[in-house]
Amino acid sequence: MDRAKLEALLNEVREGSTDVPDALERLRVLPFEDLGFAKLDHHRPLRTGMPEVIFASGKTIEHVTAIFVRMAQAGGNVLATRVSPECAESVLAAESHAVYHQTARCVTLDQTPAPQGKGTVAVVCAGTSDLPIAEEAAVTARLMGNHVELIADVGVAGIHRLLAQRNSLQTARVLIVCAGMEGALPTVVGGLVNAPVIAVPTSIGYGASLGGIAALLGMLNTCSPNVCVVNIDNGFGAACIASLINHQ
Amino acid sequence: MDRAKLEALLNEVREGSTDVPDALERLRVLPFEDLGFAKLDHHRPLRTGMPEVIFASGKTIEHVTAIFVRMAQAGGNVLATRVSPECAESVLAAESHAVYHQTARCVTLDQTPAPQGKGTVAVVCAGTSDLPIAEEAAVTARLMGNHVELIADVGVAGIHRLLAQRNSLQTARVLIVCAGMEGALPTVVGGLVNAPVIAVPTSIGYGASLGGIAALLGMLNTCSPNVCVVNIDNGFGAACIASLINHQ
Amino acid sequence: MDRAKLEALLNEVREGSTDVPDALERLRVLPFEDLGFAKLDHHRPLRTGMPEVIFASGKTIEHVTAIFVRMAQAGGNVLATRVSPECAESVLAAESHAVYHQTARCVTLDQTPAPQGKGTVAVVCAGTSDLPIAEEAAVTARLMGNHVELIADVGVAGIHRLLAQRNSLQTARVLIVCAGMEGALPTVVGGLVNAPVIAVPTSIGYGASLGGIAALLGMLNTCSPNVCVVNIDNGFGAACIASLINHQ
Amino acid sequence: MDRAKLEALLNEVREGSTDVPDALERLRVLPFEDLGFAKLDHHRPLRTGMPEVIFASGKTIEHVTAIFVRMAQAGGNVLATRVSPECAESVLAAESHAVYHQTARCVTLDQTPAPQGKGTVAVVCAGTSDLPIAEEAAVTARLMGNHVELIADVGVAGIHRLLAQRNSLQTARVLIVCAGMEGALPTVVGGLVNAPVIAVPTSIGYGASLGGIAALLGMLNTCSPNVCVVNIDNGFGAACIASLINHQ
Amino acid sequence: MDRAKLEALLNEVREGSTDVPDALERLRVLPFEDLGFAKLDHHRPLRTGMPEVIFASGKTIEHVTAIFVRMAQAGGNVLATRVSPECAESVLAAESHAVYHQTARCVTLDQTPAPQGKGTVAVVCAGTSDLPIAEEAAVTARLMGNHVELIADVGVAGIHRLLAQRNSLQTARVLIVCAGMEGALPTVVGGLVNAPVIAVPTSIGYGASLGGIAALLGMLNTCSPNVCVVNIDNGFGAACIASLINHQ
Amino acid sequence: MDRAKLEALLNEVREGSTDVPDALERLRVLPFEDLGFAKLDHHRPLRTGMPEVIFASGKTIEHVTAIFVRMAQAGGNVLATRVSPECAESVLAAESHAVYHQTARCVTLDQTPAPQGKGTVAVVCAGTSDLPIAEEAAVTARLMGNHVELIADVGVAGIHRLLAQRNSLQTARVLIVCAGMEGALPTVVGGLVNAPVIAVPTSIGYGASLGGIAALLGMLNTCSPNVCVVNIDNGFGAACIASLINHQ
Amino acid sequence: MDRAKLEALLNEVREGSTDVPDALERLRVLPFEDLGFAKLDHHRPLRTGMPEVIFASGKTIEHVTAIFVRMAQAGGNVLATRVSPECAESVLAAESHAVYHQTARCVTLDQTPAPQGKGTVAVVCAGTSDLPIAEEAAVTARLMGNHVELIADVGVAGIHRLLAQRNSLQTARVLIVCAGMEGALPTVVGGLVNAPVIAVPTSIGYGASLGGIAALLGMLNTCSPNVCVVNIDNGFGAACIASLINHQ
Amino acid sequence: MDRAKLEALLNEVREGSTDVPDALERLRVLPFEDLGFAKLDHHRPLRTGMPEVIFASGKTIEHVTAIFVRMAQAGGNVLATRVSPECAESVLAAESHAVYHQTARCVTLDQTPAPQGKGTVAVVCAGTSDLPIAEEAAVTARLMGNHVELIADVGVAGIHRLLAQRNSLQTARVLIVCAGMEGALPTVVGGLVNAPVIAVPTSIGYGASLGGIAALLGMLNTCSPNVCVVNIDNGFGAACIASLINHQ
């Protein structure tokens, strides 16, 4: 039963051709989503600056390109993550305003200015190996309307390099901290700042890193109470949460 | 070298009794925390409303009581978590203004009004088994100066009960969602709201729940991009992050 | 907005005090569960013979007794699982018509005849160690209105004992097969029958049984395509599904 | 010893050429399966509409093609699962009436009408990534003589889309619910319906999804008592059980 | 249908009161174990010297005592494993000829001389902590009619002590090697002998021993090709296999 | 100090040029392996029929070929396992008497008749997928001088096929049972025979089979006390143990 | 063959009653350990200051006391670890010079001055919960003749407290770093010093700490190349290695 | 604020243009690393002989080559690990003095003589499969200024080969022991020597070796108290620690 049918029913009640108990019964069983709730969902991305997103991993180049184009036509911003160079080439050929961020493995199309967040989102990582995940977070957060500061090469085995960035860390409104191997960086950063830290374990490492499980467990067991965690390599998700916090 | 010594050194420089190269050398090797950084740490709890905390599990009753009293004398708020009834009795005998929250297994002493957060922190859980963790989060968040709304008995196997709370969920500024067993509740809640969701897996369950690991994995693999996760049964940590977000 | 309010709204429409667009808007945003859907939920147990259930493990004796009594007053059947002898004594003192099934560790109150299922539910297990779980399944299925045949002591290491029960197995409409250790019994039974087999891994075993995980994995990897699996020691859940199938 | 030999033995007894003790001894040691039990097995597929099945993964194209052709000649229905496009091409070249279902990665040959089940089998999945497994279940169930309704794109992070399908869900006689990542969909569906739900965890996901283990654990820990589980990506097995239930 | 009934049936055939087709049909459906196969099972323990066995862990003292007495009355040997001192006291009170082996935690009743094996079964372990499992194996093997040589205190961290036992090791017909912690002993022993080695991982250890899983994995990955493995702490099972080999 | 030096030392003692205390001291510190123990090792393969073995997996074709040729020149039997068809081609080109066993993925060179074992080694497996491992065991056992009977296609989901092989199973002196997926076959076979059963878990399966871990755990938790276990896919090792037992 | 027999043999050679070839043959097969190698082992503890050690966990009080007394009589130093207060009381009653270290749960008897190490062994831990393990390491190292400096309360979440100890850390010759939860401390310390760091994961934590596995994995994945790891809670082992390094 | 700025500030204080409170404030907030601490870090490699290191795995050939050249220009020694032959070819083309160690998969450039360690570093491994990791350790240790003795082919299944190397083992100042499969070698070596043993689990093995986890667990559970462990396949890390110990 869509809005038209609901309107008709109410008119029948008004005109007396359907009495109240019958109307009650028909209303009781109608599925709520036909009342228009779903539309709110469609409006939400535009209101909040959250782009349409394609997780490209495991999809064919043709498939990714086609979805990207269709989403672009809807007028909002579009983000594709985990995009190989070959796939990016195809998307950019079809959508000339799109941009490929090679390290982040992301393609973005920025055609609707997102509302700007209130502070800075700091994206922190230890070394060059974690950069793809950190850049994925940074690209995502920027497209969602956040000022982003990327702080790399600050691993805990050389703590003075991290401490040298103390000012940048302490002025951020929310921090995303990516780390593989032992995953200790978010805990140390969490102890230096008074803001929420979103920890992203990365799959960087070998042997007992178990594909990022070691870093994940380390972050979940953090002794800094301002740290929470997302899935391994999930730079995108960390940026979503950070952006939400930064726009409140 | 504390502030007094540093002041003395600078005075010596000013007066010429120590020359600049000597002063440089002495400054180069002095540990930075003696410059006063550590004091910031001591001031931080009072500024932010974050209480002094005791994790009582594994400590003797005498130990918990003694620490609680010492912290209370510092004048700030005090929180003890995982407190057995016997231990609580001892603490309350020593500190008559302290309060025991039985379901939450927490003792609080609220002697310094914490700055009030901007919105509501919703604490959501499925059933009565998850209540101790949810209450730990609620008690902690309230002591940190947040208005808390506790929404229980809204498990995903009876989705209409959750949907009935849609208004409460959607008006919260940040949500803490506790769930054991399959841990699906944060994902469903995350799809209903436009705010950050802190997911707390609980150790409730048996067999393949693996002491909360099943719920933890479920939450990390959420398909709602506004969900982040803390350790199993870590209601306290979830409240810390939620409070930080709610005070920004 | 409950039914009374909805009726009032419709009356306003009928009387013209509220016009159709306004009514449409108010209906659009009202939560669907206030339309009475939740009541269906309350009726469902009575219609289907599914009892109210208490998982007693981890609850105090007082708590279990109180819930049991309250549920009993609602007039339907009541089932409490994982009940210790001490707890059962308390429940039976409060509810004299209740029955304690010692091996199954269940208390039942049967005050509403459940609709009878169409065939037999066979509950099969290997040895005496698996009996508590098998009996939990049998007691649950009987309370839900099923004829149950319990077949014990038919482990796969003495296959002739199982084959001697072939007739009973092959005439069952649905089978529940409980097994610990290597968990091979459901697969062998599945190969002998042409009916759905609900496999219940039990936590019986030691060392590499990993608390039932070995049996669980064995059952999930079954090469009999008519076998599905529930959680370790979940005799209750197996009976629920079996009863549903047996009542169709 | 087959039936002919057994008949001969009994005739010898009748005629006195073998005395009873000798006959007893010879009967005591004869393997029971020679008494004809095995034949029942061969008749079963034709009676029940269960096709002959080839699990193509890990077999060479030549091997799959040869088995398929040999099975086809037996006159029953044939199903090959996990078939690559190249392999399907080879099978269809050899067996012109066979059909390739690309998303499901299945080849079917439908030459014997299977008895029709009594109701509808609903196959539900969250997103496009789970479609191959859902389609495998749907293709299998259809070949076994079931009316199948496929309901896709109803993930729990957008619960209104699932609720919009409530009617379809509630009229199904048995449901197959496929989900990767957090695996919450079967629990939510299980709470909406009064029929058995066969949950199929899929290997869709990354990081902490552990190749489908997270979804599997989530489903085993479901709080909906009408949910049972099969192996990861086992759409075929789920369809077998669903078909058995639907034909009772 | 037991032997008597089968004899009666054959007599009916002989006498013509039952014709061959009827007899055929009745024979076709009778369960094979009624033909006397099951009796073989009862005879087997006496023939092979394998005792009746009770796994006492998890059973009540009364239960163990009652089973032990009933088995004793059958006239064969009886073995109870994992018996606490309290339980042993009860069994010995009821069965005065039974013997308690304290370190092995076994009670034996030896009333039927078992056929003697051909060689020696060596039972080897590293330290005093593994002795209970090693003794369980030794007691079991002796009751089954094997000459047993127990070699303790020969851990791989002091390899000269093991080498000093080279003669005993090399003259054994089969070896049982128990080890916890890193589980390396069976591999080293396997390299010194030319006989089968049954490796028994024990749950001795802490931390990363994971309750014996570390030792189990070590033994499964042995580079000595004459080593096979049983479950953690399964001294009884190791003795059964060793005895079978020693009696061939 | 080799044999020559030792002989010289003894001659010095005899001639009096070295006194006994000096000789004692020099003997005390000389490494025992120089006394010739290592040579025993070289003789052992020839005495026992155990071939020289190459584990080809992970080695280059050139490497495998070169080792094979060198071993062949030593005059004993040679076995290479896990050999790809390309590698086998290279080996056979270099060693024309060698034989490639395609399903078993083994190359053998049989130039020294091994002493014949006393009975039959039965190699049992469920389906065609487990055949490579079963054949590896069979080829190895044959080269070591055993009569081997291979029994395939006897999975536990069709128990009558296994029972039809009861005679072959019960006359074997030792059995090797290979199974993937749920790994139940060794337990069922173990219950049918009175001989040692070497269980070989295979990596056949998907999802929750975890690369053979499910089968491995199932076998370790067997309730048949005559079953022991080797590493996943280790057909070679199983044959070594079986051959040792069969030659005693 | 012990030293006496060897001497006799050499005398026979000298006297000509045994010729050289016979002597050669008898020497070739004699087990090397009878040549006196084992005695070196007995001397080693006295030479190196390594005490005799008792792992008291799982032993009875009587057993621990008896072993302690026997070891004490040998004249060297004695160490018992994991000693409960009740057990310590018994040991001290029997051996009045022994000392109980309550936090470390160790009893020591220091009756032979151990050779002093060359530098300081720093034992570092984060909080009070890790103290028992840190103290076990400190007590062990001191008994082995090392100057020990214990540095507690320097968790990575408050990095300034650790940096304040930089001088102590940097002057140590070897460091033992104990940490539970996320186990990040050894990595951070490793980055601050130029000496070997022995990391000891502790079982402190809950939920996803998995009894110390999270800390263990974190330490194994350290990005500081001067960190190596011992078993969970193995303070004793860490001290042994540290002492070896400090005495070189 | 670097040293120059600090000097300027002190001069301002001396001259009175900045008063003490202002200077205090500016000093309080300046990052400590600007005081010169970071420089120590840059000097450290040259002082200690620790080379600059590139972990080539996962980097492009161009990337590795560029980094190598840049590091070479700094004048110190350079080490690249996990280098494929193709990558090595590129590096050597750009840096003609570099050397490729094929088995070790390392490229070294030795242009600064490292200070020589005091004793020998023994690198021990079982078979040819572990050689790449053992060689990585050996190459690394040599570049860091250590005399290295490589001892291969001494697996524990042939213990006499290991004992034949007793002298070499016992004269080493520190030992690196690499082993895959069951990982028992470090424990046996640890029992033979009185020096620190760095155990390196390798990923060699199949099935239950779990990619090296079995060896890792075995080593962590060692009963030799002089063994510590690094990550799976981490030959480089083991050499760093060994070199540190050898240079003390």
pLDDT digits (tens, 9 = 90+) for B61-77: 998 999 899 888 878 89
Judge D/A contact: 3 or more CB pairs < 8 A.
yes
With cut-offs at 50, 70 and 90, classify the pLDDT of residue A12.
confident
Quote the mean pLDDT of chain C: 85
Q: Tens digit of pLDDT for each residue in H46-62?
A: 445 578 888 998 888 99
SS (H, E, C) chain A: CCHHHHHHHHHHHHHCCCCHHHHHHHHHHCCHHHHCHHHHHHHHHHHHCCCEEEECCCCCHHHHHHHHHHHHHCCCCEEEECCCHHHHHHHHHHCCCCEEECCCCEEEECCCCCCCCCCEEEEEECCHHHHHHHHHHHHHHHHCCCEEEEECCCCHHHHHHHHCCHHHHHHCCEEEEEECCCCCHHHHHHHHCCCCEEEEECCCCCHHHHHHHHHHHHHHCCCCCCEEECCCCCHHHHHHHHHHHHHC
Quote the mean pLDDT of chain D: 85
Q: Tens digit of pLDDT for each residue in H133-155?
A: 999 999 999 999 999 999 998 88
List subunits contacting chain D, requiring 3 or more Cβ pairs under 8 Å: A, B, C, E, F
Q: Is H236 helix (H, G, I), strand (E, B) or coil?
A: helix
Q: Do A184 and G181 touch (CB under 8 A)?
A: no
Q: Do A223 and G192 touch (CB under 8 A)?
A: no
Q: Do G231 and E166 touch (CB under 8 A)?
A: no
With cut-offs at 50, 70 and 90, classify the pLDDT of residue B35.
very low
Q: How far is G222 from chain A (nearest CA, A)?
A: 5
Count of alpha carbons within 13 Å of B25, Cβ hemisphere only? Answer: 4
Q: How far is H166 from chain E (nearest CA, A)?
A: 12
This complex has an ipTM of 0.82
pTM above 0.80, yes or no: yes
Which residues in H have their CB inside 8 Å of a CB on F?
A: 129, 158, 160-161, 163-164, 166-167, 206-209
Please check the confidence at residue B53 and state whether its pLDDT lies above 50.
Answer: yes
b/e map of F203-236 (b: 16 or more CB within 10 Å)? Answer: bbbbbbbbbbbbbbbbbbbbbbbbbbbbbbbbbb
Q: Do G166 and B231 touch (CB under 8 A)?
A: no
**Alpha carbons G131 and G121: distance in angstroms, whole number:** 16
Give whichever of C15-24, E212-221, F3-12, H163-172 has the largest mean pLDDT. Answer: E212-221
pLDDT, position B112: 82
pLDDT, position E47: 41
Q: Do G207 and B57 touch (CB under 8 A)?
A: no
Share of chain B above pLDDT 90, in %: 59
Nearest Cβ partner for D221 among C53, C225, C231:
C231
Q: Which residue of chain G comes nearest to E128, CA vs CA? A: G59
pLDDT, position D24: 64
Q: Which residue of chain H comes nearest to E127, CA vs CA? A: H223
Quick check: A150 and A224 in contact, CB under 8 A?
no
Q: Do A188 and G188 touch (CB under 8 A)?
A: yes
Mean pLDDT value of segment D8-17: 77
Q: Which is higher by pLDDT, C19 or E77?
A: E77
Quick check: C233 and C212 in contact, CB under 8 A?
yes
**Alpha carbons B179 and B125: distance in angstroms, whole number:** 6
Q: G-chain residues within 8 Å CB-CB of E167?
A: 31
Q: Which residue of chain C comes nearest to A38, CA vs CA? A: C28
Mean pLDDT value of segment E201-224: 94
Cross-strand pairs, C120: C147
Q: Do E10 and D20 touch (CB under 8 A)?
A: yes
With cut-offs at 50, 70 and 90, classify the pLDDT of residue G132.
very high
Mean pLDDT value of segment B46-50: 52
Q: Do D6 and E13 touch (CB under 8 A)?
A: no
pLDDT, position B34: 36
Judge C/G contact: 3 or more CB pairs < 8 A.
no
Quick check: C118 and C246 in contact, CB under 8 A?
yes
Judge B/C contact: 3 or more CB pairs < 8 A.
yes
Q: C-chain residues within 8 Å CB-CB of F161?
A: none
Q: Is B173 helix (H, G, I), strand (E, B) or coil?
A: coil
**Alpha carbons E73 and E81: distance in angstroms, whole number:** 19
Q: B-chain residues within 8 Å CB-CB of D223?
A: 126-127, 155-157, 181-182
Mean pLDDT value of segment A210-225: 94
Q: How far is C110 from chain F (nearest CA, A)?
A: 38
pLDDT, position B46: 42
Among A156-160, D2-6, F139-143, F192-196, the minimum mean pLDDT is found in D2-6
With cut-offs at 50, 70 and 90, classify the pLDDT of residue E138.
very high
From first CA to last CA, the distance across chain A in angstroms is 36
Quick check: F240 and F140 in contact, CB under 8 A?
yes
With cut-offs at 50, 70 and 90, classify the pLDDT of residue C34.
very low
Quote the mean pLDDT of chain A: 85
Q: Tens digit of pLDDT for each residue in D202-213?
A: 998 999 999 999
Give whichever of C181-185, D58-62, H153-157 has the largest mean pLDDT. Answer: C181-185
Q: Tens digit of pLDDT for each residue in C186-199?
A: 999 999 998 999 99
Q: Tens digit of pLDDT for each residue in C129-164?
A: 899 999 999 999 999 999 999 999 888 888 888 988
Please check the confidence at residue D38 and state whether its pLDDT lies above 50.
Answer: no
Judge A/G contact: 3 or more CB pairs < 8 A.
yes
DSSP at E51: P
**Alpha carbons H239 and H248: distance in angstroms, whole number:** 14
Please check the confidence at residue C59 and state whether its pLDDT lies above 50.
Answer: yes
Quote the mean pLDDT of chain B: 85
Amino acid at B137: A
With cut-offs at 50, 70 and 90, classify the pLDDT of residue A59.
confident
Q: Do F245 and E241 touch (CB under 8 A)?
A: no
Q: Do E24 and D16 touch (CB under 8 A)?
A: no
pLDDT, position B22: 74
Q: Which residue of chain B comes nearest to G165, CA vs CA? A: B31
Mutation choice for G interface testing from E160, E161, E202, E233 by most G CBs within 10 A: E160
List subunits contacting chain B, requiring 3 or more Cβ pairs under 8 Å: A, C, D, G, H
Q: F-chain residues within 8 Å CB-CB of H127?
A: none
With cut-offs at 50, 70 and 90, classify the pLDDT of residue H200.
very high
Which residues in G have their CB inside 8 Å of a CB on B?
A: 129, 158, 160-161, 163-164, 166-167, 206-209
Please check the confidence at residue D53 and state whether its pLDDT lies above 50.
Answer: yes
Please check the confidence at residue D180 and state whether its pLDDT lies above 70.
Answer: yes
Compute the CA torsion angle B222, B224, B230, B236 (nearest 10 deg). Answer: -140
Q: How far is G23 from chain E (nearest CA, A)?
A: 20
With cut-offs at 50, 70 and 90, classify the pLDDT of residue A99.
very high
Q: Tens digit of pLDDT for each residue in E158-199?
A: 888 898 898 999 999 999 999 999 899 999 999 999 899 999
C26 phi, psi to nearest 5 deg: -65, -35
Give whichever of B103-107, G43-47, G52-56, G150-154 has the largest mean pLDDT. Answer: B103-107
With cut-offs at 50, 70 and 90, classify the pLDDT of residue A40.
very low
Q: Which residues contact G145 (CB under 8 A, 6 or more apart)?
A: G49, G113, G114, G115, G116, G117, G243, G247
Q: Do B41 and G160 touch (CB under 8 A)?
A: yes
pLDDT, position G37: 30
Mean pLDDT value of segment B108-125: 92
**Alpha carbons E53 and F226: distance in angstroms, whole number:** 14
Which residues in H have their CB inside 8 Å of a CB on G?
A: 32, 44, 48, 53, 118-119, 163, 173, 194-196, 198, 216, 220-222, 225-232, 236-238, 240-241, 244-245, 248
Mean pLDDT value of segment D131-149: 96
Mutation choice for A interface testing from D206, D210, D233 by most A CBs within 10 A: D206
With cut-offs at 50, 70 and 90, classify the pLDDT of residue F153.
confident
Please check the confidence at residue C87 and state whether its pLDDT lies above 90.
Answer: yes
Q: H-chain residues within 8 Å CB-CB of G159?
A: none
SS (H, E, C) G37-67: HHHHHHHHHHHHCCCEEEECCCCCHHHHHHH
Q: Tens digit of pLDDT for each residue in G67-110?
A: 899 889 878 899 999 999 999 999 999 999 999 999 999 999 99
Judge H/D contact: 3 or more CB pairs < 8 A.
no
